[in-house]
Amino acid sequence: MRLPISIAVAAVAASPLPPLAGQHLGTVEVGAIGRFTRFDRSLQLDNAFGEGGHLGVFFAPSFAFEVAAVYNRTTGPVSRNEVLIPLYAQLVYGAPIGDDVALLLGAGYVHSMHDRTGNVWDDGGSGLIGVRFGLDQTLTLRLEAIADFIPSPANHSVSIPNNWNFALQAGLSAWLGGSRLKDSDHDGVVDPLDGCRHTPPGDAVDARGCSLPKDADQDNVVDALDRCPNTPARETVDATGCPLPKDQDMDRVGDSLDRCPNTPRGEPVDAAGCPLDSDHDGVLDSVDKCPNTPGRVDTMGCPPSPSNDSDGDGLVDSADKCPGTPVGERVDAIGCPALFLGSQRILVLEAVRFDPGSTTLTAPARGELDRVAVSLAAHPGLRVEVAGHSDNLGTNAAKLGLSWARADAVRRYLIGRGIPREQVTARGFGGDQPIDTNATEQGRARNRRVELRRLN
């Protein structure tokens, strides 16, 4: 009997087990049993292997009434061919602990006959605990431990005390007939529990069998609330399912509006995404020790000490690379006219204007470029690009050509002031990058501009 049991256990381990579909009202279970029994010592019977069968009928889901019989051949004090045949009538409950496994608990009556004629017998109680494995829709494997209690006196001798017989058994059972709970829409929820019995094929459902809200683009916003139902995979979206504006420097100003797209993380910025200088003293708020001090200040944003600072720019003359800076001029860390503050990379040269339709620099334009030249000369490692822009008037070719020519005029002026050619380049953008509306003259004037762009 050991070999068939081993084969059955191996089949359970190697096969995908279907649900235990047979534990329902009206199902009949028929099975064969192989058993090893350890008899009470008072009986003076050797341990024995036996075989038998059982028959059960489910009178409620998971509850069955079973009868069973086992034929045990053993040896005892009287004969070498003792026979003991226990007959059982019991209730068995199969508690589901998974789709494919049930815990068996049983209790009932045992009538134990001690010879082939049945003239010597005992009555008692029996209990079992075991596991039922589903092999397919009609076949199961049962592994069980049995305990039989026979009280004293036995019917054939008052000298025998209470008996306890213990057994381990395994068996294969088949389901016959019985009602099966239907799942009409095949959604995994049986009809009695299914609140939506006509779910479309393939729909994911909840515990009641109803379709879960759909999310076609898998952005965690259900289609009924999704205003952008075709969002690309892994796109970050808002509560309406639409992509959030890109913000590479994470300053909460979207890249499309960010004039300073490379602001260091944590730097306070204004609505344009550029570092804040609330008191307009040329020192960013993040390093300004005197945040409410306008006008000329030192490098920490505080009013400068007049001693040893001949130009009053907040830097002592011994460290000032540009000691003659005009009063009120913003300066950098070495005392020269400041071009770029903090992480700023674009500077609009507000005073650099041209005569209409020409590349001739005005007097204020030359004055501002002289200041730029001083700063570039003090920072020979700084490379910049002069960017020319126009409004939307005229043809594209004309706008692009004029913006290139004006940028180049600025470049040539700076080179003429001693700036190396490799330190400054020029480029025209025409009207492609407006910073204001072209619907008004004021807006078009702002768009006709020259910028200095930091390249390194």
60 found inside a domain: yes
Give yes or no: residues 96 and 120 share one domain: yes
Gap between the Cα atoms of 265 and 343, Å rounded: 11
186 found inside a domain: no
Give yes or no: residues 158 and 230 share one domain: no
Give yes or no: residues 13 and 78 share one domain: yes
Give yes or no: residues 393 and 423 share one domain: yes
Give yes or no: residues 87 and 205 share one domain: no
Give yes or no: residues 108 and 227 share one domain: no
CATH of residue 132: 2.40.160.20
286 found inside a domain: no
Q: Which of 226, 244, 262 is the last residue of a domain?
A: 244
Q: What DSSP character marks residue 187? A: S
> What are the b/e assignments for 14-36, b being 16+ CB within 10 Å?
eeebeebbbbbeebebebebbbb
- The residue range of the domain holding 209 is 191-244
Domains held by the chain: number = 3
Helix (H, G, I), strand (E, B) or coil at 424: strand
Gap between the Cα atoms of 437 and 9, Å rounded: 81
Give yes or no: residues 80 and 50 share one domain: yes
311 found inside a domain: no
The residue behind tokens 């040329």 is 282
Give yes or no: residues 123 and 203 share one domain: no
Residue-level pLDDT, tens digit, the chain, 456 residues? 444 444 333 333 333 333 455 577 788 999 999 999 998 887 788 899 999 999 999 888 889 999 999 999 888 776 667 888 999 999 999 988 876 789 999 999 999 887 655 567 888 999 999 999 988 778 899 999 999 998 865 545 556 678 899 999 999 999 887 545 667 788 877 777 788 888 888 787 887 888 777 777 878 788 778 888 888 877 777 778 887 667 777 677 776 677 787 777 777 777 777 877 777 777 777 777 787 777 667 667 777 665 566 666 666 666 676 776 776 677 776 777 778 877 788 888 988 988 777 888 888 888 889 888 988 988 888 899 999 998 888 888 888 999 999 999 999 999 999 999 999 999 999 989 998 999 998 988 888 899 999 998
Give yes or no: residues 154 and 195 share one domain: no
217 found inside a domain: yes
Query: Which amino acid appears at position 416 of this protein?
Result: G
**Is the bond leading into 153 cis (omega within 30 degrees of zero)?**
yes
Helix (H) / strand (E) containing 402? helix 396-416
Give yes or no: residues 87 and 150 share one domain: yes
Give yes or no: residues 357 and 399 share one domain: yes
Give yes or no: residues 85 and 172 share one domain: yes
Q: Compute CA 142 distance to the chain's CA centroid, rounded to the nearest angstrom.
A: 42
Q: What DSSP character marks residue 332? A: -
Which spans in 363-395 are helix H?
363-378
